[in-house]
Structure 1
């Protein structure tokens, strides 16, 4: 369906060139394949919303600070006992903090890459998803909120840990209205966070 076909739907969406009200798009089609960068951005958006991810990040930072303080105290109190091997632990800890999100994104990319390009239709009853191996439906109730990033719309489940996510790249929108059309559909069904 295009906007002209939806004009009688009764939902004001914008003003056309002639000054007439246009209807909100009833569905928007996307075709895309998620990249590692997309997965990193989606996981980062989820981490900002997820209670568990925020606590995990805080705990890791507290542990890192504790390890650094212990090594600093050891260096002050007994510098002769401080070795190069002892300095490796905080550096390894810091590297783990920086590398683990990239490893998770790479793992998710490998898992989804074999499916090929996704075709998603955001419609009144939810998302209709199809790829080379399967097709399915995701209702709006499964992902009642979303986060918009620079490149993605990240749909999240309603639980405090955002255990379910769907990443929709803006570049994949096939509708002439582009990301604005998808945003209009999402705003009509989901809560932006």
Structure 2
């Protein structure tokens, strides 16, 4: 009888130890389920969105996929925000850009005005002193007037000869900057290189940040696909640049 009693006692001890272990495991399991950090994981497990094998050590192995998805969605947003223009540069485009540059700088217009004023004064003084109009002086005066007035068009024609042979231009304006490519070259500019832009009736003129505005980017509105693209492009320019 004693051996039977000992076996019963050992059985009770074994049963109590097993119960204790099960209780401890259940308590730990319940704490993991009620942990705020693991509740979304548990919900995902119940919904079948995450396989149990992908969850290790309280962290999701699919976290990389979630991060990649967020990156892809951000890239999609950037792609949606981008505006594309396709156009062939025209002399009128360059002329508009040069005129905007002159209005911003103002020194060029001032110097041209002073130069013309000096020539007009010299011609008038010579005519008054001689009492008659001198043919040579008049021809020189008219030549200077035509040269000063027509210089922007001459400059635009020179620029057109430089860019026309490159063919079609494809410009993409996005939060990352302005990327312009042709059949022969590609130019990428960040927003930090620009001091601002000015909108005209048919163009957006982007001006470089240097004091002399040595670089201008002319975006003709005719290169846009729809009328809504004009508003989208204007919104991008207002957000990442300044209207000057």
Q: What's the TM-score, normalizing by structure 1?
A: 0.80
Following the alignment from structure 2 to structure 1, what is the Cα–Cα distance between the partners of residues 144 and 189?
38
CA radius of gyration, larger in:
2
| Alignment gaps of 5+ in structure 2 | 1-72
| Alignment gaps of 5+ in structure 1 | 10-24
1:116 to 159, 164, 167: 167
| Structure with more relative contact order (C-alpha pairs < 8 Å, separation 6 or more) | 1
1:34 aligns with 2:89: yes
CA 1:102–1:92: 2 relative to 1, 3 Å = same
Following the alignment from structure 1 to structure 2, what is the Cα–Cα distance between the partners of residues 56 and 176?
35
| Partner SS state of residue 163, structure 1 | coil
Q: Which residue of structure 2 aligns with residue 47 of structure 1? A: 102
Give the drift of 1:140.
Answer: 0.7
Contact 2:102 2:108 in 1 (8 A): no
Give the drift of 1:134.
Answer: 1.7
2:139 to 57, 64, 88: 88
1:57 to 81, 90, 109: 109
Q: Which residue of structure 2 aligns with residue 76 of structure 1? A: 128
Q: What's the TM-score, normalizing by structure 2?
A: 0.64
| Partner SS state of residue 30, structure 1 | strand
Of Structure 1 and Structure 2, which has the larger fraction of its residues in strand? 1
Kindly tell me the number of residue pairs found equivalent between the two proteins: 170
Following the alignment from structure 1 to structure 2, what is the Cα–Cα distance between the partners of residues 107 and 138?
23
CA RMSD, 1 decimal: 2.2
